[in-house]
Structure 1
Amino acid sequence: METMADAEPAKAKPRPIIRLGLFLISHSFIVSVACCAAGIFALLLLPILAKNTYISENALMPGSASPMLSNDDVSRARMFVNKVVSFDFNTDSSSIGIQDLVAQHITDLGGEVNFHRFLPQVNKFNPLHFFSSPDQGIAQENYTCSSYGINTVGFIRAPRGDGKEAIVLVTPYNSVKTSMGEALSLGIAYSIFSLLTRVTWLAKDIIWLAADSQHGEYAAVAAWLREYHTPSFDGSGRSLFESNASPTTGRKRPNDFLRAGTMAAALVIKVTDGSEKAERDVLNLYAEASNGQMPNLDLINVVNYLAVNGQRLRVKVEKLGSLLDSWWLRSLAELFYKLGTVARSLNPQWNFGISVAEYIEGSATLASSLYNQALGVPTGPHGVFRDYQVDAITMEISAKHVANYKNRPNELLLQGGRLVEGVIRSVNNLLEKFHQSFFLYLLTSPNKFVSVGVYMIPFALLVAPLPMVAASLFTDSTRRISGMETKVASSPASSDIPAISFRSWRWLHAAKTVFIVHFWGAVVTLLPHFLSLVQDSSPLTNLLSWIILSAFTLLILQAILGSSFSLLHMNRTQGMEWTLLKSVTIAAACTGLCIMSVINFATAELGALMLVPMCLMTRPLMLDAKAKTLKSFIRAACNIVLIFLVFPPVAYYLWKGALVGVENARVGDFWNWVESLWTWNSATYIYMCMVHLPCWVLFLSFCICILAKWNWEYICGSIIVFVFVSLRVFGFSYC
């Protein structure tokens, strides 16, 4: 008998988590297909999974008090609107400007007032100040007095407050040519200001910012907020942008730049001309800020509740009209409706499925919310407040027959004024800033939302295959290369063949290539700084110059740093080096998507929809050509289509064309969008240049020349030819 000492020790089994990981890696193809299909299906289910909004902060108590805005306040506001309109159309010279007109009425009500002079912001790309506020050095440049914008700012000091908190009302208007809608928005703010100077319940200061938008709504609000929070001074200690004199008469005012407390919330009030077919006035809400930031959901809920239940307004959020008439979305809605009917027949408690019309409306609204957040550009002047962590929204009242205002009663001023009054009363009740409700959400309607705990599921399912496929490719390549190394070592002619070192550190060569291409992406990020110095160039010219310079930069970088992945032994190693390079590239793409999901989830979501299929399907076309099977032919065709669709300018054109209509999309718009990204300091620009574009170049190299010993001259030439072919496909001439 064998003793216990003679028996070999039993090999310990790996832990269950390790066995699960090995199982997923060994079946990565099936798992990847299942996860991608589940991720897309979960994304389509989001309108059904949306929940009704609710007010989390009990202290808000919207509608608990009766409105105090009276007809007398409305009458005075209407007289003020008439003065603004008559001033705007007065052709003779006047010694009083519209800013003085607003300031005079604020003073008559007993409020404090001051003027804020600012300069137009220069749209100049500065890579060193990308994540900082716009450079204030433009004050040193030569501007005439007519180039200045002048904001009028009124203050009400709260009788029950300590001056540490404030609520901001913003009414943008063009001081050069004020429209009827802008005059009405000023009238609504004036009626509220008139009321709040008399009330005793006010616990927060009120700031009315009449923003001079002749240089842009956002620029006027941003300049005042920048001075409010971070003032800049000249040598004498005076603020560079402050003005305590009347902009037209020059009369001195005793006050300097006035301030109140920390801003609890901000409301941007706008009035536009609505549709003639509308049965009633509509309130449009805009909430998206830069980098996909959103205000606290409670603020939107309060506005929606008061508008619907208090003022009988129809509340709308932006939706993509092109999806409302799409046949595939209607077919999908009908399918989900039938599935919901079957589910309810099995168990009445299963509340699955919504009506066809509700699903279509919810999908169009969800797509608009996702699209606007992914662009990273604010949808209104409210966006600048989020940069200072202030919750703000734009309330745009789309009224019927605004142009023919004389035939309308005071209903519009009364509705808008009481709505703003109700929101101010609710925010006035807060003892602290908004924090109870959600900051990360997607809207499917004014009263339905998808929280972060739900909409992160599709992204997680889409990204989950990437680490598994990367590990599977790495394991497969190292196993095959190790086997080839063993054959070479045992071959009689092995003494005549140089030794091949393919051990565990071989992946560093692939990592070096990926690092160089991503470093090139950082260089591409800085190129628009030099292109922006060229004057009077069209967007399409700038776009072509950017692409061509990027291609030549890649060629120069490769010449300086040298080829980082030699394929001298391609035949001997059966072409397995490309799997190592693809493995590292997929790992880099997964890392970039996960980091971007923390900054702007919508950008990461749309990026995953484009990058993940390309990551999973990319394969050298020459290998598929040698196979000569139907499967390889379909895979090669899919790779070519994906490479074409994922190219950033083409992807932007197709996304915009699908969402807002092909007739409204132009390839040159891509450069305009890029300019807007760096103007708003959007992280989407960094993602596009340093994650999306390098991955696209690497996968393009996989397809066209992975077996051509990494001829980077061929890659750069292919990129340039690809661009011109793409423009020809879209019908553009090269002249």
Structure 2
Amino acid sequence: MSINYPNISQTNRRKELVAGRSDSRSPMASTAETEGQKPKHRPIIRIGIFIIAHSFLVSVVCCTAGVLALLLLPVLAKKTYVSENALMPGSATPMLSDQDVSGATRFINELTSLKLKSWNMGIEIPRLIALHMSNLGGEVNYHKFQTQPNNLHPLYFFTSPDAEANIVNKTCQSYATNTVGIIRAPRGDGKEAIVLVTPYNPVNLTQNEVLSLGIAYSVFSLLTQVSWLAKDIIWLAADSQYGQYNSVAAWLRDYHTPSFGGHGKLHADNCHGTSGMHESKLDTFVETEVSDTFRRAGTMAAAFVIKVANTGEEGEQDALNIYAEASNGQMPNLDLINVVSYLAVHGQGLRVKVEKLVSLLDSKWLNFIGEMLESVGKIARSLNPQWKFGIPVQEYVEGSATLVSSLYNQAIGVPTGSHGAFRDYQVDAITLEISPKLSSSTKARQTEFLFRGGRLIEGVVRSVNNLLEKFHQSFFLYLLTASNKFISVGVYMIAFLLLVAPLPVVAASLFSDATKSKPDSQKHKSTSSEPFQSWRWLYPTKTIFLVHLWGAIVSLLPYFIYQIPDCQPTSRLLIWASLSIIILAILHSFFGPSSTHLQEWVLLKSVTVSSLFIGLCLMSVINFATAEIGALILVPMCLMIKPWKVAGKAHSAFNFLLLTIGFPGAAFFVVKGAFGVRNGSGLVEFWYWVESLWAWNSATYIYICMVHLPCWVLCICILLHSC
């Protein structure tokens, strides 16, 4: 019998393996092996640490790139195009005939003669309009309403209050009457409608308003006869004696609000003006056809406000001005503007214009930038003909002026016309303002003008009539640089992202520096107190919370100031400023800073920068243009601010300059002077501007009071911090 003994070499190897495993399990052995070696992080963490460590360089690069991206936006603009194939603008031959224009001419003559003869135009003109609507075959009704005061109410800031609850002065003088005519589509089911709005003042009717009513009459006359109409047509002759926006908004409010038991009449039948309508000497046939019962059509697919502007310069062609901005930067679908622009240029030979900031057209620094970009474009094309970069200087300057105007109109949050009332109900709407030639007073010229305007509206209505669904194919977020060029949100948001990108980086860097350093009083303490160092951020957070609470109180003060009777605008502004300073002093005395260590202002700046980042990002969701302008003003100020005892003299002087420009009142006057805007002077103008923001429920007012102003106060606290 043989015995197999294990191999000695194999046994030794097993022992070595067992010994190695026991060493690997030993914490002392692993500590000895890894002593002096830093743990390796994931690549994304290493990139984050590197960016935070070089926060200053990142801030300079990102802010510079953000400003350059803004200056390059006119170069990056694209030409407009119709995204929705169903619109098919210009595919059909215009059907507006001489008979329709002749009827419009007679209608204009009757309005003109009635304006000259009648002393009670506020009653007779709406009756005359209703008579012609009814004779053309439309369903006609009067819409009597009372104007609502635009006063700030904290509970109704972002909502539309009930009409009855908001009416203060129930006198007959404040009542107005809209005249509404509806054409039922022969090929439709009554579920959709297109709205034509012609604002006019029946008490003081102008020739331009007469012409706009004539254009609408010619189109209304045509649409009552066509067989291709698939959407109902609503012609709203809006009584604008108390404001164009108010008349349209009142009609829309009643249109979308069910009325029970004559709720929408507001007891207007007791007024002399309303009863006088039934005593007119006009054709009594209209009394059997016109009703005070509110008539409705389908869901509104689009709306067009038709206006005629003052005559242009001698020798100019007829021009079309398009206004699209609504409340809080809302814009209609770009396809709506594209269809109107295409039909105006290629169909009627009109010169399409959008609003631009005229004072920038002669700007020397803007021309200098345009020349540089044109030179760079020439060099790029010489290297590669396919590189299409750079535009002519004049095109760049005009595009920049239009871009600034579009950015400002969206940022201020106030509608540029009565079309803004439709956007509050998610209806795409624009204002078409036609400017005739100087020689439009002749009869032949007036007929030509009616043909052009009527066929333009006919073509637009026909394109929208082809839609089977709401506008959705094209852009809703865009900026215009010309009537046929736009910048989409995917392009202009890059500048904003570059401007705000340094904020979280700097906040993380400051917080890291503050947690690494210790106050002198705590250097000799035991290490047992180190876990409590992470709670130091509670002090700056408490300070920032109180300052933003102060901003909320400041935003509500005007409502209570308005309760003071017989108070002038300058007095209201001074009361507002005084109360704001007193409340801030009270909060500072009760909950002011309790420490003067170096880490405190660093943590305060870190949390301030973080709150600014959150505020700008939230505002970009509501109104991107406001966030863009706010980032241009606040980001450099917050990144550069330091206590004056820490910063040098040059740095402190620069901080004072940024703080001066960053104050909302100073920024208002600086921007006004830089752009050459002249609308009054002094504190009264600033008060009226702020008053208009809250009267129109603009979110920019909330942003100024609860983001911009608190951030400015916190920067003052950092600057005056005693280290």
Same fold (TM over 0.5): yes
Q: Provide the C-alpha distance between the structure 2 equivalents of 1:328 and 1:93, rounded to a whole number of angstroms.
A: 55
Q: Is the 8 A contact 1:189 1:417 kept in 2?
A: yes
Q: Is the 8 A contact 2:142 2:292 kept in 1?
A: no
Partner of 2:383: 346
3-state SS of 1:653 partner: helix
CA distance 1:139–1:540, change in 2 (3 Å): closer
Q: Provide the C-alpha distance between the structure 1 equivalents of 2:482 and 2:276, rounded to a whole number of angstroms.
A: 44
Q: Is the 8 A contact 2:143 2:292 kept in 1?
A: no
- In the TM superposition, what are the counterparts of 1:72-221 in structure 2 within 5 Å? 72-92=99-119, 97-137=124-164, 141-221=168-248
Q: Provide the C-alpha distance between the structure 1 equivalents of 2:122 and 2:470, rounded to a whole number of angstroms.
A: 43
Partner of 2:722: 707
Structure 1, 635-644 or 8-17: larger mean CA deviation? 8-17
Q: Provide the C-alpha distance between the structure 1 equivalents of 2:680 and 2:495, rounded to a whole number of angstroms.
A: 30
CA distance 1:517–1:28, change in 2 (3 Å): same
3-state SS of 2:152 partner: coil
Whose radius of gyration is greater, 1 or 2? 2
Q: Is the 8 A contact 2:70 2:495 kept in 1?
A: yes
In the TM superposition, what is the alpha-carbon distance from 1:403 to its structure 2 partner? Answer: 7.7
Q: Is the 8 A contact 2:122 2:203 kept in 1?
A: no
In the TM superposition, what is the alpha-carbon distance from 1:657 to its structure 2 partner? Answer: 2.6
Q: Is the 8 A contact 2:306 2:431 kept in 1?
A: yes
Partner of 2:354: 317
Give the partner amino acid of 1:359: Y
Q: Provide the C-alpha distance between the structure 1 equivalents of 2:334 and 2:583, rounded to a whole number of angstroms.
A: 45
Partner of 2:662: 646
Q: Is the 8 A contact 1:180 1:402 kept in 2?
A: no
Instruction: Confirm whether residue 544 of structure 1 aligns to residue 577 of structure 2.
Output: no
Q: Provide the C-alpha distance between the structure 1 equivalents of 2:395 and 2:250, rounded to a whole number of angstroms.
A: 41
Q: Provide the C-alpha distance between the structure 2 equivalents of 1:514 and 1:405, rounded to a whole number of angstroms.
A: 67
Which of the residues 581, 604, 609 maps onto 1:581? Answer: 604
Instruction: Confirm whether residue 364 of structure 1 aligns to residue 401 of structure 2.
Output: yes
In the TM superposition, what is the alpha-carbon distance from 1:191 to its structure 2 partner? Answer: 0.4
Which of the residues 236, 248, 256 maps onto 1:229? Answer: 256
Which of the residues 523, 528, 544 maps onto 2:558? Answer: 528
Q: Provide the C-alpha distance between the structure 1 equivalents of 2:658 and 2:678, rounded to a whole number of angstroms.
A: 20
Instruction: Confirm whether residue 614 of structure 1 aligns to residue 637 of structure 2.
Output: yes
- In the TM superposition, what are the counterparts of 1:48-59 in structure 2 within 5 Å? 48-59=75-86
Give the partner amino acid of 1:639: N
Give the partner amino acid of 2:559: H
CA distance 1:238–1:663, change in 2 (3 Å): closer
Which of the residues 489, 504, 508 maps onto 2:525? Answer: 489
Q: Is the 8 A contact 1:306 1:422 kept in 2?
A: yes
Q: Provide the C-alpha distance between the structure 2 equivalents of 1:592 and 1:443, rounded to a whole number of angstroms.
A: 26
In the TM superposition, what is the alpha-carbon distance from 1:500 to its structure 2 partner? Answer: 9.4
Instruction: Confirm whether residue 276 of structure 1 aligns to residue 313 of structure 2.
Output: yes
Instruction: Confirm whether residue 289 of structure 1 aligns to residue 326 of structure 2.
Output: yes
Partner of 1:720: none
Cα deviations across residues 279-310 of structure 1 (Å, max 9, x unaligned)? 11110000000000000000000000000000
Instruction: Confirm whether residue 655 of structure 1 aligns to residue 680 of structure 2.
Output: no
CA distance 1:242–1:72, change in 2 (3 Å): farther
TM-score using structure 1 length: 0.89
Q: Is the 8 A contact 2:149 2:166 kept in 1?
A: no
Q: Which runs of 5+ in 1 are unaligned?
A: 625-631, 709-735
CA distance 1:27–1:254, change in 2 (3 Å): closer
Q: Is the 8 A contact 1:474 1:583 kept in 2?
A: yes
TM-score using structure 2 length: 0.91
Q: Is the 8 A contact 2:83 2:473 kept in 1?
A: yes
Give the partner amino acid of 2:650: I
Partner of 2:429: 392
3-state SS of 2:645 partner: helix
Q: Provide the C-alpha distance between the structure 1 equivalents of 2:560 and 2:463, rounded to a whole number of angstroms.
A: 49
Cα-Cα RMSD: 2.3
Partner of 1:674: 690
Q: Is the 8 A contact 1:117 1:242 kept in 2?
A: no
Give the partner amino acid of 1:588: S
Q: Provide the C-alpha distance between the structure 2 equivalents of 1:528 and 1:278, rounded to a whole number of angstroms.
A: 50
CA distance 1:246–1:435, change in 2 (3 Å): farther
In the TM superposition, what is the alpha-carbon distance from 1:505 to its structure 2 partner? Answer: 1.3
Instruction: Confirm whether residue 240 of structure 1 aligns to residue 262 of structure 2.
Output: no
Structure 1, 535-544 or 106-115: larger mean CA deviation? 535-544
In the TM superposition, what is the alpha-carbon distance from 1:399 to its structure 2 partner? Answer: 1.3
Give the partner amino acid of 2:362: D
Partner of 1:717: none
Q: Is the 8 A contact 1:485 1:502 kept in 2?
A: no
Percent identity between the two aligned chains: 60
CA distance 1:593–1:183, change in 2 (3 Å): same
CA distance 1:94–1:55, change in 2 (3 Å): closer
Q: Provide the C-alpha distance between the structure 1 equivalents of 2:122 and 2:634, rounded to a whole number of angstroms.
A: 61
In the TM superposition, what is the alpha-carbon distance from 1:702 to its structure 2 partner? Answer: 1.7
CA distance 1:165–1:21, change in 2 (3 Å): same
CA distance 1:230–1:254, change in 2 (3 Å): closer
Instruction: Confirm whether residue 566 of structure 1 aligns to residue 594 of structure 2.
Output: yes
Instruction: Confirm whether residue 602 of structure 1 aligns to residue 625 of structure 2.
Output: yes
Q: Is the 8 A contact 1:285 1:317 kept in 2?
A: yes
CA distance 1:271–1:127, change in 2 (3 Å): same
Partner of 2:536: 506
Q: Provide the C-alpha distance between the structure 1 equivalents of 2:242 and 2:313, rounded to a whole number of angstroms.
A: 30
Q: Is the 8 A contact 1:656 1:665 kept in 2?
A: no
3-state SS of 1:73 partner: helix
Partner of 2:548: 518
Cα deviations across residues 410-441 of structure 1 (Å, max 9, x unaligned)? 11111000000000000000000000000000
- In the TM superposition, what are the counterparts of 1:249-264 in structure 2 within 5 Å? 249=278, 253-254=290-291, 256-264=293-301
Q: Provide the C-alpha distance between the structure 2 equivalents of 1:462 and 1:98, rounded to a whole number of angstroms.
A: 55
CA distance 1:149–1:96, change in 2 (3 Å): closer
Q: Is the 8 A contact 2:130 2:179 kept in 1?
A: yes
3-state SS of 2:210 partner: helix
Partner of 2:652: 636
3-state SS of 1:489 partner: coil
Q: Provide the C-alpha distance between the structure 2 equivalents of 1:95 and 1:212, rounded to a whole number of angstroms.
A: 9
Q: Provide the C-alpha distance between the structure 2 equivalents of 1:651 and 1:422, rounded to a whole number of angstroms.
A: 44
Cα deviations across residues 141-177 of structure 1 (Å, max 9, x unaligned)? 4433232010000000000000000000000000100
CA distance 1:461–1:94, change in 2 (3 Å): closer
Cα deviations across residues 232-274 of structure 1 (Å, max 9, x unaligned)? 54xx454335979776226574561000000000000000113
Q: Provide the C-alpha distance between the structure 1 equivalents of 2:153 and 2:360, rounded to a whole number of angstroms.
A: 38
CA distance 1:59–1:246, change in 2 (3 Å): farther
Count, aligned residues: 684
Q: Which runs of 5+ in 2 are unaligned?
A: 1-15, 280-286
Q: Is the 8 A contact 1:116 1:242 kept in 2?
A: no
In the TM superposition, what is the alpha-carbon distance from 1:480 to its structure 2 partner? Answer: 1.1
Give the partner amino acid of 2:697: N
Give the partner amino acid of 1:395: L
Instruction: Confirm whether residue 447 of structure 1 aligns to residue 474 of structure 2.
Output: no
Q: Is the 8 A contact 2:122 2:202 kept in 1?
A: no
CA distance 1:72–1:618, change in 2 (3 Å): same
Cα deviations across residues 603-661 of structure 1 (Å, max 9, x unaligned)? 0000000000001101111323xxxxxxx222111111111111111111222332243
Q: Provide the C-alpha distance between the structure 2 equivalents of 1:277 and 1:701, rounded to a whole number of angstroms.
A: 59
- In the TM superposition, what are the counterparts of 1:292-303 in structure 2 within 5 Å? 292-303=329-340
CA distance 1:412–1:678, change in 2 (3 Å): same
Cα deviations across residues 670-699 of structure 1 (Å, max 9, x unaligned)? 221222222221111111100000000111
Q: Provide the C-alpha distance between the structure 2 equivalents of 1:583 and 1:269, rounded to a whole number of angstroms.
A: 52
